[in-house]
Structure 1
Amino acid sequence: MKGTKKGFVYAVTVSMALAALAGCANTKQETAQTAAVQKENVTGAVTASSESGGPLHIDVVAKGFQHQFWKAVEQGTKKAAEEFGVEVTFQGPDNESAIAQQVEYLNAAIANQPSAICLAALDTNACLDSIQLAMDAKIPVIGFDSGVPNAPKGAIRANASTDNTAAGQLAAEKLYEMIKDQVTDPQKSVRIGVIAQESNSNSIVSRTRGFVDKMIELVGSDKVSVEGHDSLKNEKAGAKVILDVGIPAEVKDVDAAAVASSILEKSDLIAIYGSNEFAANAIITANEGLEKLGEGKVIAVGFDAGAKQLDAISSGLFAGSVTQDPVQIGYQAVKLAVEAANGKEVSDVDTGALWYNASNMADEAIAPCLYR
């Protein structure tokens, strides 16, 4: 549902609609907003309706449609729409580089004066004028997925997103279960590799640090030395368990594969973790010439999904990975939007993370989260 025709219509009408919206800015803006009332249905879910008796309308503006991830998010928004009795429009640009197209959709949504908007911004700065229009029109904006980072204070009522620190911790917990015997008072050094895409992105840093900190906690802070990249280095003399953090100088496949190779080649390596799809793919690529991963060899775990990583898990090359829950991201975003439209105070929601491996990839709760 890429909506290219709809995008054209929006592009034709949005200027006039926004002009009308701006002209009303100093009049009774609140009359354009539906004063929602709530009632409890037989299942206990909140059903929201407008002052005129019709359902609330929520516009969801995603980052794109090219990944199965966004289809799963849309699935969650539909589930919430049915449960809460609201109308939801889900749209987004053709790809995650089409910033101008996303802003066009956002402006068109604002011009239609919905009850609330859910936004996963490709570029917060590009959306600032639009966000201000929504604030002026008293349209609540809810962030989802990566949200709207660094938006003006008060612009985003709440976010529905993954707690990336907790997700990284989950990866550490699952890996620890598999290597516990090897890291409990080892007689000689054992190494756990950690590959990250970069050291600047908040989500990537949180997943990486969450993994490292949790592994230190599980093994024992006096028994672990963190080496490698300066961003996390905490070397301890005499520690037998080494966490070896590798981050490429640039976000390039070849650079990341080289970093992964340098760690895979170390003779004391027992396990390795990639903190997103890019990092996991780098580990897989590096292993192609080394054959260090697999049953009875180095244990690898990852994060996210994608064809390469899913194939590695299916074949036993990777023991498993952590995925975000895009269905919950969509569901919780709409739920927050309904509550905000009804005048409720809302706060951020952690949409959780899931561990998957070859045995549960096809499960009903897991499969929608595994994009290719």
Structure 2
Amino acid sequence: MRKKILGFLLTVIMAAALTGCSGSNTQTAKNDKKTLYFIPIVDTGAYWSPMKKAAEEEAKKLGYNLVFKTSPPSEQAKNEKHIGFLEEAIANKAAGIAIAPMDPDMFDRKVKEAKDAGIPVVTFDADVKTKSNRVAYVGTDNKLAGEELGKKGAEYLKMKGISAGKIALVAVNLTQTTMTYRQAGIKAGFDSVMGPDAKNFTWLEAIQDNDQSSESKRQLEGQIIANPDMVAVFSLGSEGPDTGVMEAIKSQGKAGKIYHFGFDYTPTWENGIKEGLITGIVDQDSYAIGKTVIDVLDKAVKGEKIAADYPIPVKWVEAGKIVEYGKEKQKQFTAETK
């Protein structure tokens, strides 16, 4: 009888030990997969969609759970909404945060809160005011990218013998950091190439369309009618301005007379090439940005040494080469996502 009791007790002890080990392994497995927050300005269009896809794939490859947060372009309280996403990430003790801050001042304090909580933050597309609050910035230097577009626009006008006239600017949001830098860069680059003739050009009041092509079309049509000497327009990125500007130029019969310089590749440009509604663009490699953001954040989470900035250059593409350029980008994208 004593042997049976001892045997039973031994069985119970072994079962308890095994159960304890199993519970410990389960808990470890749950903690193995850390969470990263990825907060872009939007998630649609030829610029943001590849970036999102690259981030998702790289996070999965590195073993992270990626929480994706954004809001539509028409969101009225967009800054507040995205600051709320930052607060959520901090409250949930995320392993790391990647965010495209729309205002360098508004997001600065909240990014510092993440830093104080021990959560590394990588900014992309735009930066916060205090660089020491984030661990790194990934993306285009928007002022330099704007300068490149401004220089190319000025070179094109000079080639056409144009040394005076009105110039329009169209953007989704004129106060967004990336847009203010691009505007400043475009004007600086344009003036540097034009030299003394720069004083002969007048920059009209910039148009904001909140990514609504009907709005940019309406406002630009008004400017074209009021300024018959308009010679160029710069659209600073996203589908709304891209489409709205081309439609306005076409509706006013100004194709080939008002030269259009755009920002970022999108298949939308192909609709205006034959009719002379787009002259050339500078393009960012958004897929590379998305992948690099996650790679840098991974290193930061692991405590590895990283640089303060990871610049991604832009490329100038003339209208006649946009179709082939788009095909090459698609091939590259397909190869990278396999």
The answer to whether TM tops 0.5 is: yes
Counterparts in 2 of 1:204 and 1:131: CA distance versus 1, 3 Å? closer
Residue aligning to 1:330: 290
Report if the CA contact (8 A) 2:108-2:133 is conserved: no
Say whether 1:156 aligns with 2:134: yes
Instruction: Give the Cα–Cα distance (whole angstroms) in 2 for the partners of residues 355 and 93 of structure 1.
Output: 29
In structure 2, list runs of 5 or more residues that go unmatched. Answer: 1-27, 210-214, 334-338
Match of 1:333, SS?
Answer: helix
| 2:37 corresponds to 1:77 | no
Number of residue pairs matched by the alignment: 290
Q: Map Cα deviations across residues 287-315 of structure 1 (whole Å, 9 max, x no partner).
A: 23421213xx4432222466765522365
Q: Which residue of structure 2 lines up, in the alignment, with residue 210 of structure 1? A: 185
- Of 95, 100, 103 in structure 2, the residue corresponding to residue 120 of structure 1 is 100
Q: Which has the higher helix share?
A: 2
Q: Is the 8 A contact 1:164 1:207 kept in 2?
A: yes
Matches within 5 A, 1:202-281: 202-219=177-194, 221-222=195-196, 224-225=197-198, 235=199, 242-248=200-206, 253=216, 254-263=218-227, 265-266=228-229, 271-277=232-238, 280-281=242-243
Please say if 1:166 is aligned against 2:144: yes
Q: Give the drift of 1:330.
A: 1.2
- Residues 58-137 of structure 1 mapped to structure 2, 5 A cutoff: 58-78=36-56, 80-81=58-59, 85-96=62-73, 97=75, 99=78, 102-103=82-83, 105-121=85-101, 131=111, 133-137=113-117
The change in CA–CA distance for 1:123 and 1:301 in structure 2 (over 3 A counts) is closer
Deviations 1:147-191 (A, max 9, x none): 4x34x66322222232122212222343355444334xx7xx543
CA apart distance, 1:271: 4.2
Give the aligned residue type for 1:114: A
Aligned counterparts of 2:249 and 2:100: Cα–Cα separation in 1: 35
- Aligned partner of residue 328 in structure 2, secondary structure: coil
Residues 273 and 280 in structure 1, CA contact (< 8 A), matched pair in contact too: no
C-alpha deviations, 1:196-233, integer Å up to 9, x for none? 448654432332332232233234x23x13xxxxxxxx
- Two-structure CA RMSD over aligned residues (Å): 3.9
Matched, 1:318 2:318: no
Q: Secondary structure at the match of 1:207?
A: helix
Amino acid at match of 1:353: V
Q: Distance in 2 between matches of 1:70 and 1:368?
A: 16
For the 8 Å contact 1:116–1:341, the answer to whether it is kept is yes
Cα deviation, residue 282, structure 1: 4.9
Distance (whole Å) between structure 2 residues aligned to residue 209 and residue 128 of structure 1: 22
TM-score by length of 1: 0.62
How far did 1:95 drift? 2.1
Unaligned runs of 5+ in 1: 1-49, 226-234, 236-241
The verdict on how the C-alpha distance between 1:313 and 1:169 changes in structure 2, with shifts beyond 3 A counting, is farther
Match of 1:352 in 2: 313
Contact 2:37 2:67 in 1 (8 A): yes
Report SS of the residue matched to 1:365: helix
Match of 1:138 among 100, 106, 118: 118
**CA distance in 1 between partners of 2:106 and 2:164 (Å):** 47
Q: Secondary structure at the match of 1:363?
A: helix
- Cα pair 1:55 1:87 within 8 Å, conserved: yes
Worse-superposed segment, 325-334 or 173-182:
173-182
**TM-score, normalising length: structure 2:** 0.68
- Structure of greater Rg: 2
Structure 1 residues 129, 289: closer, same or farther in 2, change over 3 A? closer
Alignment partner of 1:302 is 2:276: no
Contact 2:101 2:107 in 1 (8 A): yes
**Which residue does 1:191 correspond to in 2?**
165
Measured after TM superposition, the shift of residue 138 of structure 1 is 0.6
1:110-146 superposed Cα distances (whole Å, 9 cap, x missing partner): 3443332112245778767754552332111111123
